Amino acid sequence: KSNGIIEQSPLSVRAQQGESINITCVLKSSHEGIMLLRIHMQLEKVLYVLSQNTTTIFPTFANRLDYSKQEKKLVITLHNLQENDTDIYVCAAVLKNSSLSVSESGTMVLVKGEKQTACRTSSLAIYIPIIVVVLLLSTLIGFILTRINKKKIFQKRKMNVVYEDMSFSSRSNTLVRTNTYSRDN
């Protein structure tokens, strides 16, 4: 959107922690200076560029902000973004009568932290090898147990032989015989 004095792009931008983004402000009328403000989480000045090329970079982005100015176009680069840089940034024109004309759209900046992604990746890097090792061990143990059971099934067993003395008990002879091994004889 444009208020006729200043235009801003992009409307929104997503970045990972540590990355850089560009915000472009284009002025449509004469001005004394251009400001970049954070307005949603906290109202804070980020950059102030006067027409006489005097620049003020405020502490939040000290050593993390570059800009280039060509006529009425200002391209601002925010470097090494952190999660707490997530906010709505708006360009504002400082007019000759010292009033501010603020861009109607602004730029919504969403910075995602690397911590969550790295944690998920490292968790997977730990769990996948553990799962693979457990599956391999289970397969190996199962294979060994089936081999042992097969050996037991097909192993030749000793025959259980039972000998029975059939000399006296099987006969139907009712004659009494004397024991040849007894001492009485």
pLDDT in tens, 154-182: 666 677 777 766 665 555 555 566 666 66
pLDDT digits (tens, 9 = 90+) for 28-53: 877 788 899 998 877 899 998 887 77
Q: Which residue has the higher pLDDT, 16 or 156?
A: 16
**Cα separation of 24 and 78, whole Å?**
11
Examine the pLDDT at 57 and tell me if it is beyond 70: yes
Q: Which residue has the higher pLDDT, 165 or 147?
A: 147
pLDDT (0 to 100) of residue 132: 82
Query: Between the CA of residue 171 and those of 63, 106, 168, 175, 178, what are the distances in Å?
Result: 118, 119, 6, 10, 15
* Pair 12, 90 in one domain: yes
* Pair 149, 119 in one domain: yes
* Pair 91, 16 in one domain: yes
Is 173 a domain residue? no
Domain boundary among 57, 84, 112: 112
The tokens describing 175, both together, are 């004659």
Angle at 169 between CA 165 and CA 173, to 5 degrees: 130
* Pair 107, 120 in one domain: no
Is 134 a domain residue? yes
* Pair 54, 27 in one domain: yes
* Pair 101, 122 in one domain: no
Among 5, 49, 50, residue whose Cα is nearest residue 28: 5
* Pair 29, 44 in one domain: yes
pLDDT (0 to 100) of residue 10: 94
* Pair 120, 36 in one domain: no
**Cα separation of 27 and 103, whole Å?**
10
* Pair 47, 124 in one domain: no
pLDDT (0 to 100) of residue 5: 83
Domain span holding position 42: 6-112
In degrees and rounded to multiples of 5, residue 85 shows phi and psi of -85, -5
Split into its structural domains, the chain has a count of 2
Domain boundary among 112, 133, 167: 112
* Pair 133, 105 in one domain: no
Report the mean per-residue pLDDT for the chain.
81
CATH of the domain at 98: 2.60.40.10
* Pair 148, 60 in one domain: no
* Pair 17, 47 in one domain: yes
